[in-house]
Amino acid sequence: MKELSLHILDIAENSIGAKADFVRIAVDETVKEGYISIEIQDNGPGIQKEMIGSVADPFVTTRTERRIGMGISLFKAAAEQSCGAFDIESDEKKGTRVKAVFKKDHVDTAPVGDTAATIITLLAGNPGLDIRYEHATPENSFFLDTREIRQDLEGIDIDHPAVLEKIKELINDNIGSKR
Amino acid sequence: MNVKELADKLGLEIHAGKQAADRDILGGYTGDLLSDVMARINPGTAWMTIQTHQNIVAVAVLREAACISITGGHRPDRETVERAEKENMPVLLADDNSFDLCLKIADLKVL
């Protein structure tokens, strides 16, 4: 992936495919000098204990249309090839949490990229989905929660183009569009 | 031209997946960003990469590549070799970098 935001999109789509209707996406560029942490957490049914050790094995998947799954495999490899780290936790009651840490100045670390586009794409394709998006940079700390946004919309759908455009502006105004 | 003929002509070792070396090569691609390779290669591609992780076998199998050539003297991980054997995906090893290997393939005038 040329941008980390595309990994986020891919992992969140896994969550949606697993019937999650809430995804928390947290990008933190302040945890440790020179590192970016990306966490994607869902309220899906979780991954079976027997599967958790092999989720990053591309030949292990619950897919039925094809027998190879690449999302987590690529995310883990991207973190590890740039001196970062990867971790996954899953619980049948709490859902799944995927976390990867990237070393910012490593030459193989992709830029964070267009996270606003990722959020918008997720919402546009899945109007029933709620997202809490948190993004902390040394300059600013920002979050948006679609559960709160929905309350202000008074009946307008969250995937209405004008709403999506507003959400995109809100994100880019807070964290910058060029990342 | 099939994978075995290509390996013979270029003097490349078929390190894994020999059993599938009679597969025809229909084109080529060079790339190390797996998401890009996954989106762009066609069935029958001879794929040149410096990546050595087992994810390369997954991408190659998924996209029905003819073979993987690991270039630049890099060596595949153990899991990669095991997986390539199991999935019948030929893995060739080249000391040349991807560019030089492509030049040699071009010289063969077969693709």
Domain map (residue ranges) of chain A: 4-175
Tell whether A74 is within 8 A of chain B (Cβ).
Answer: yes
Helical H segments across chain B, by residue range: 3-10, 34-40, 55-62, 78-87, 98-108
Task: Tell me the sheet residues that pair with A53.
Answer: none
- State both tokens at A145: 């929660």
pLDDT at A148: 95
Burial B48-77 (b: 16+ CB within 10 A, else e): bbebbbbbbbbbbbbbebbbbbbbbeeebe
**Regarding the domain delimited by A4-175, which CATH topology (the fold level of the hierarchy) does it fall under?**
Heat Shock Protein 90 (3.30.565)
Tell whether A88 is within 8 A of chain B (Cβ).
Answer: no
Rounding to the nearest 10 degrees, give the CA dihedral for residues B55, A99, A114, B51. -20
pLDDT at B73: 96
Q: If DSSP codes are grouped into helix, strand and coil, which group holds residue A87?
A: strand
Nearest to A103 by CA among A22, A38, A6: A38
- State both tokens at A141: 């700390």
Answer yes or no: do B55 and A66 touch at CB < 8 A.
Answer: no
Answer yes or no: do B62 and A57 touch at CB < 8 A.
Answer: no
- The 10s digit of each residue's pLDDT in A152-161 is 998 899 999 9
The model's confidence at residue A84, banded by pLDDT at 50, 70 and 90, is very high
CA distance A165 to chain B (A): 28
pLDDT at A31: 83
Tell whether B38 is within 8 A of chain A (Cβ).
Answer: yes
Q: For all residues of chain A together, what is the average pLDDT?
A: 91
Among the residue ranges A27-41, A46-60, B17-31, the one predicted with the least confidence is A46-60
pLDDT at residue A138 tops 90: no
pLDDT at residue A178 tops 60: no
Q: What is the DSSP string of A103-143?
A: ETT-TTPPP---HHHHHHHHHHH-TT-EEEEEEE-SS-EEE
Q: How many residues does chain A have?
A: 179
* Closest residue on chain A to B87 (Cα): A59
**What mean pLDDT is predicted for residues A29-56?**
89
Q: How many residues does chain B have?
A: 111
pLDDT at A32: 83
Give the orientation angle of helix B3-10 with respect to helix B98-108, to 10 degrees.
110
pLDDT at A99: 97
Tell whether B54 is within 8 A of chain A (Cβ).
Answer: yes
Per CB-CB distance under 8 Å, the chain B contacts of A58 are 54-55, 57-58
pLDDT at A66: 65
Answer yes or no: do A2 and B35 touch at CB < 8 A.
Answer: yes
Domain ranges in chain B? 3-108
Answer yes or no: do B54 and A57 touch at CB < 8 A.
Answer: yes
Answer yes or no: do B54 and A58 touch at CB < 8 A.
Answer: yes
The model's confidence at residue A53, banded by pLDDT at 50, 70 and 90, is confident
pLDDT at A65: 65
- The 10s digit of each residue's pLDDT in B19-69 is 999 999 999 999 999 989 999 999 999 999 999 999 999 999 999 999 999
CA distance A63 to chain B (A): 13
Answer yes or no: do B83 and A59 touch at CB < 8 A.
Answer: yes
Q: Determine the CATH number of domain B3-108.
A: 3.40.1390.20
> Is the ipTM value over 0.85, yes or no?
no
The model's confidence at residue A64, banded by pLDDT at 50, 70 and 90, is low
pLDDT at A15: 93
Task: Give the whole-angstrom CA distance, residue B15 versus residue B78.
Answer: 11
Tell whether B40 is within 8 A of chain A (Cβ).
Answer: no
Q: Which amino acid is at A82?
A: S
Tell whether A2 is within 8 A of chain B (Cβ).
Answer: yes
pLDDT at A92: 83
Tell whether B35 is within 8 A of chain A (Cβ).
Answer: yes
Portion of chain A with pLDDT greater than 70, in percent? 95
Q: Which amino acid is at B96?
A: D
The model's confidence at residue A107, banded by pLDDT at 50, 70 and 90, is confident
Say if CB B68 and CB B47 are below 8 A apart.
Answer: yes
The model's confidence at residue A179, banded by pLDDT at 50, 70 and 90, is low
**Residue A79: enclosing H or E segment and its boundaries?**
helix A71-80
Tell whether B55 is within 8 A of chain A (Cβ).
Answer: yes
Portion of chain B with pLDDT greater than 90, in percent? 96
Answer yes or no: do B61 and A68 touch at CB < 8 A.
Answer: yes
A33 backbone dihedrals φ, ψ, rounded to 5°:
-50, 125
pLDDT at B86: 96
Residues contacting residue B32 through CB under 8 Å, at least 6 positions apart: B49, B50, B51
- Indicate the burial class of A9 (C-beta count within 10 angstroms; 0-12, 13-18, 19 or more): buried
**What mean pLDDT is predicted for residues A82-108?**
92
**What mean pLDDT is predicted for residues A120-138?**
95
